[in-house]
């Protein structure tokens, strides 16, 4: 079976800095893969390379067997990849429901013409899918509240629900537990495991090892842009290179 996502020698320079350095790895269908590394290791840059937000200096990204290197973000999204952002990005002046609907309408498509006449069927499809995701993350009571008025934790779930409304084949989450306390993190890992057990392939960045170690089958470790480990959590925990990278990291 070919992997869902394959990265081949992916590299990105920013001036003199090599943020991502020759990273080669893959994510198989149905896997839950963690990506960890100290501050500035290049995790977000790697996600940006995968999702089309940053062009690689060299190397290739293949998704479902098709080369997607250099495609713009919306085209990558259309192929079934959906992401969240490290610094939590919801649409603050739109309602919770309307936020989620953007994921659904982005995947299903809407046109100016059909919004004026005859687009009822598509609208219902978008509405139903959005409502389903809204219930799934338990935000139905706040459907008509502005996203800006939600608590931080709920906004995190809103962002995930919006990404899920695209019904992606691969979901990539950039530090979903950032800023959450212990019980919130536990609840979130429960949710992520549940999504994965339903068959969704997930790639998860975490700065902090604990969440990833608890739920991922496989962990990729980056340090200074380079992949230094790619193994099961148990192995990674004992890997000397990983221990060195984390101990040598500036704020660990």
Partner 1 sequence: MSKQLLTKVGMVVLLFVVVPAVLMAFDRGYFYQIATIAAVFVLLAASLHLVTGVAGLLHLGHAAFYGIGAYVAALLGSELEIGFTLGLPAAGLAAAFVAFLVALPTMRLISIYFAVATLAIGQMLYLIFLNWVSVTKGPNGVLLFSGIDFFGFDIESEIGIYYVVTAIMALSVVVLYRLTNSYYGNALRSLREDDQCAAAMGINVTVLKMQAFVISAFFAGLAGALWAYTTGYISPNDFNFSQSILVLAMVVVGGLGSLPGAVIGALLLILLPEVLRDVGDTRNIFVGLVMFGAILFLPKGLFGEVSALRFARRILGSGWSGSADNREVGWE
Can you give the binding site for ligand ATP, defined by CB under 6 A? Answer: 14, 17, 19, 37, 39-45, 86, 207
Which residues, other chains included, contact 92 with Cβ-Cβ below 8 Å and sequence gap of 6+?
146, 147, 148
CA distances to 64, 186, 228 from 36, rounded to whole Å, are 24, 18, 10
Q: Site for partner 1 (CB under 8 A): which residue of 89, 179, 190, 244?
A: 89
Q: How far is the CB of 249 from partner 1 (least distance, A)?
A: 28
- Complex with ligand ATP: residue 19 or 229, whichever CB lies closer: 19
Nearest to 74 by CA among 105, 44, 101: 105
Check binding of 149 to partner 1 (CB under 8 A).
no
Check binding of 121 to partner 1 (CB under 8 A).
no
- Complex with ligand ATP: residue 43 or 218, whichever CB lies closer: 43
Q: Site for Mg ion (CB under 5 A): which residue of 11, 18, 57, 86?
A: 86
In DSSP terms, which residues pair with 91 in a beta bridge?
Answer: none
CA–CA separation, 131 and 165 (whole Å): 9
Instruction: Say which entry of partner 1, ligand ATP, Mg ion, none residue 106 contacts (CB below 5 to 8 A, set by partner kind).
Output: partner 1
Using CB under 8 A as the binding rule, the residues of this chain from 17 to 76 that contact partner 1 are: 51, 53, 72-74
CA distances to 1, 132, 159, 162, 178 from 154, rounded to whole Å, are 37, 16, 9, 12, 13
Cβ contact 84:205 at 8 Å:
no
Q: Site for partner 1 (CB under 8 A): which residue of 12, 43, 83, 136?
A: 83
Instruction: Say which entry of ligand ATP, partner 1, Mg ion, none residue 37 contacts (CB below 5 to 8 A, set by partner kind).
Output: ligand ATP
Check binding of 122 to partner 1 (CB under 8 A).
yes
Q: Tell me the Ramachandran region of residue 70: left when phi exceeds 0, alpha when psi lies from -120 to 50, beta otherwise.
A: left
For the stretch 49-58, what's the b/e string if a residue is b when 16 or more beta carbons lie within 10 angstroms of its beta carbon?
Answer: bbbbebebee
Check binding of 88 to Mg ion (CB under 5 A).
no
In DSSP terms, which residues pair with 173 in a beta bridge?
Answer: 204
Helix or strand run (H / E) with residue 223 = strand 218-223
Q: How far is the CB of 70 from partner 1 (least distance, A)?
A: 15
Q: Site for partner 1 (CB under 8 A): which residue of 120, 199, 238, 240?
A: 120
3-state secondary structure of 236: helix
Q: Which residues contact Mg ion by CB under 5 A?
A: 43-44, 86
Q: Which residues contact partner 1 by CB under 8 A?
A: 51, 53, 72-74, 77-78, 82-83, 85, 89-95, 97-98, 101-103, 105-107, 110-112, 114-117, 119-120, 122-124, 126-128, 130-131, 140, 143-144, 146, 162-163, 166
């Amino acid at each position: 079976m070919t992997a869902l996502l394959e990265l081949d020698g992916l590299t990105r320079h920013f001036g003199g800095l090599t943020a991502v350095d020759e990273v080669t790895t893959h994510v198989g269908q149905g896997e839950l893969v963690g990506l960890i590394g100290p501050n500035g290791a290049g995790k977000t840059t790697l996600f940006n390379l995968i999702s089309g937000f940053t062009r690689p200096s060299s190397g290739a990204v293949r998704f479902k067997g098709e080369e997607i290197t250099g495609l713009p973000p919306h085209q990558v999204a259309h192929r079934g990849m959906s992401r969240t952002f490290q610094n939590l990005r919801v649409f603050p002046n739109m309602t919770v429901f309307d936020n989620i609907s953007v994921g659904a309408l982005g995947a299903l498509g809407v046109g100016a013409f059909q919004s004026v006449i005859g687009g009822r069927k598509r609208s219902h499809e978008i509405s139903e899918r959005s409502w389903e995701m809204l219930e799934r993350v338990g935000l139905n009571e706040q459907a008509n509240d502005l996203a800006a008025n939600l608590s931080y934790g709920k906004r995190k779930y809103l962002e995930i629900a919006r990404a899920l409304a695209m019904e992606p084949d691969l979901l990539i989450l950039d530090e979903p537990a950032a800023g959450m306390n212990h019980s919130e993190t536990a609840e979130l890992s429960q949710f992520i495991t549940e999504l994965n057990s339903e068959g969704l392939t997930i790639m998860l960045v975490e700065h902090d090892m604990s969440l990833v170690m608890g739920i991922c089958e496989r962990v990729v470790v980056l340090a200074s842009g380079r992949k230094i480990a790619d193994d099961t959590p148990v192995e990674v925990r004992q890997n000397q290179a990983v221990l060195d990278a984390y101990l040598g990291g500036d704020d660990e």
